[in-house]
Chains A and B, each alone.
Chain A
Amino acid sequence: MSRRAALVAVVWVALLALPSFAVADGDGAPTIRIDLRSHDGYSVRLYEINSTATLKITKRAKVGYAESSTDYLTRATVTGDSLQATFGELGQVSMRFDPSDARPSLRCDESRRSLVRRGLFVGSLRFRGESGYVDIGVRRAAGAVLTPIEGTHCDEGGAEEGRPSSHRPKLTDFYAGFRHGLGSVNFWAETNDRGHVDYEAMAESGGEEMATYRQAFVEASPRTFATDQALSFLSVSPPYPFSGTGLVQRNPNGSRSWSGNLGVSFPGVSDFALTGPEFRTFLTRQW
């Protein structure tokens, strides 16, 4: 997601303030996570944070590393251990927490220690995705309520991967995207230091009652990514969840065009177009 810029201007000293979305009023407030079993070949999770309920529906490829997901976001009402939210015309949830753990546990969650209470969420969750691609009806589901412990910090132990820069191949990056109104579409193709190509697409859409955030990712063979030393063209043909081919060409006037039938399938939307004249493009190679 891109960031918005505050519209304060400084005459002479040009400066745009960039509000941070990382810190929120909800710091220290409990968050809810409900693990729903797979439905119609999709994995489904529901979580609540910062008064927003998010239903995340993910499809993973059976082979290789490829997945696509759609997040449905809507405002939630959280009272004590109960959660209520309506996902527009697609569904609603009304569940309360029944803790089963006699003793809460501690865990490291997003760099803070949290008190975790596990148990069952009981009530009703109904959700029917666009064109019925998924139909969920749940009355009980396992889940947890996580309460961050103020002033604590923990390390999840993530380690940087990599190799000495002198041995790194020159990586090539391509980006195409645009924003208009409440929606934006973004596509990235990037050669990685394993000699493969990472493809990623993201589409977000706002609205009156609900927002959606769609993502897709696949790591693919270098055969799907063709260009030349001068970056005078680029042809990308990523595999599922993508389809078709996107083509970058230099025009005689020096401008660049982005065309083809490249598309992507997100849960709920198939063949979402990723090319067209409204896209801005960047094609670069590291040195």
Chain B
Amino acid sequence: MEEARPVEPPALTAPPETEASAAAEASSGAIGTSTIVPDPSAPDTRENGAIFISEGRGRGFGRCSGTSVSSPNLSLVFTAGHCVFDEGHWSARHWVFVPAYRYGERPFGTFAAKWLGTTPGWRNHRNSNFDVGVAVVARNESGERLAAAVGADKVAFDRPPGQLYDVFGYPVRRPFNGTTLRVCSQAPYVGHALDAWLTPGPLQVGVSCEVSPGSSGGGWVVDGDTLDGVTSESYPEDPTTVYGPYFGNAVKRLYDRASRVR
């Protein structure tokens, strides 16, 4: 895969979300269980970041979320499969990860993808039970590798789905605006939706957390520092439940493959 071209994230002009506005929204029932992460650049949250995918000149940016994860190459981002491969196309030449992105600021710089991967189940069949993607990223403008700059979460495989998850992401669509990191803390597992049974593979996991587009690929963290899922999708008529693929053998194989990329 070709070296990715850097993409400059746009300076978002939407009014910044604040804790005060979040509290007001929460009291009105509009936000649900998510809250703003006060300082995304803090040591325990800066592995999380926003992903910008250029749609071409003048066509704006696709937005997703991702997580820096531990890997021998110190350069691995986990996200959703549809954030790296969608509609039959890879996004490699126009894909960047901005850890701890906040109100247009990039405290640790920009990391452009140089290799993207996903599971065969997502690439060949768009099976949501396998909607996991990875990016191996180049060094940032300061010459730092990703994990050296912001650290990295561990990755868990084959855990029982009944966990409490911290669900991170940069939701863009209303009532959010994508300017800063949000988290549903200790979001509970609720089970599997019927759709998960209609395709093969380990059943997609549902957790209680209100999200909107832009959250895709956001990390589901257990035990404070271990990635055990990513946000994939929700039903538009019920944004209070979010679904993500189970981290089993297929995700482990994807992780192993990406870890060997230099």
**Chain A interface residues (CB < 8 Å from chain B):** 1-17, 19-21, 23-27, 50-52, 73-75, 178-182, 184, 204-208, 211-213, 280
* Known A12-B60, A182-B191, A280-B237: A7·B215 in contact at CB below 8 Å: yes
Name the CB-closest residue of B to A212. B194
CA distance A182 to B199 in the complex (A): 17
Most chain B beta-carbon contacts within 10 A, residue among A7, A12, A50, A280? A7
Q: Is the CB–CB distance between A13 and B55 below 8 Å?
A: yes
Chain A to chain B contacts (Cβ below 8 Å), 10 pairs: A7-B231, A7-B242, A8-B213, A13-B55, A25-B125, A25-B200, A52-B198, A73-B197, A207-B192, A211-B192
Q: Which chain B residues border A280 with CB–CB below 8 Å?
A: 237
B82, A8: Cβ atoms closer than 8 Å: yes
Contacts of A26 in B (CB 8 A): 199-200
| Other A-B pairs beyond A5-B236, A11-B63, 11, CB < 8 Å | A4-B195, A5-B234, A6-B80, A6-B232, A6-B233, A10-B60, A11-B61, A52-B197, A178-B237, A180-B240, A184-B235
**Cβ 8 A contact of A205, one of B10, B194, B232:** B194
Q: A51-B200, A182-B192, A207-B191 are in contact. Are A6 and B60 (CB under 8 A)?
A: no
Check: B172 CB closer than 8 A to any chain A CB. Answer: yes
A75 touches B197 (CB 8 A): yes
Q: Is the Cβ of A20 less than 8 Å from the Cβ of B200?
A: no
User: Taking CB as reference atom, which chain B residue is nearest A15?
Assistant: B62
- Provide the bound-state CA to CA distance between A43 and B231, in Å: 40
Q: Are B128 and A4 in contact (CB under 8 A)?
A: yes
Contact of A8 among B62, B127, B193, B200 (CB under 8 A): B62
CB contacts (< 8 Å) of B201 on chain A: these are 25, 51
Q: Are A7 and B191 in contact (CB under 8 A)?
A: no
Chain B residues contacting A16 (CB-CB under 8 Å) are 213, 236
Q: Evaluate contact between B194 and A211: CB separation under 8 angstroms.
A: yes
Would A9 and B203 count as touching, CB distance under 8 A?
A: no
* A13→B60 contact, CB < 8 A: yes
Are A206's CB and B178's CB within 8 A?
Answer: no
Given contacts A181-B206, A181-B241, contact A5 B128 (CB under 8 A): no
- Is B165 part of the binding interface, using a Cβ–Cβ cutoff of 8 Å? no
Bound CA span A15–B12, Å: 18
The reply to whether A19 and B126 contact each other, CB–CB distance below 8 Å, is: yes
Expressed in whole angstroms, the Cα–Cα distance for A52 and B190 within the complex equals: 20
B216 interface neighbour in A6, A25, A208, Cβ under 8 Å: A6
Task: Contact check, B213 vs A24: say whether CB atoms are below 8 A apart.
Answer: no
Contact in complex: B243, A4 (CB < 8 Å): yes
Q: A206, B192: Cβ atoms under 8 Å?
A: yes
Q: How far is the CB of B125 from chain A (nearest CB, A)?
A: 5
In the bound assembly, the distance between CA atoms of A51 and B127 in angstroms comes to: 13
Given contacts A2-B237, A9-B173, are A73 and B214 in contact (CB under 8 A)?
no
Q: Does B57 contact A (CB under 8 A)?
A: no
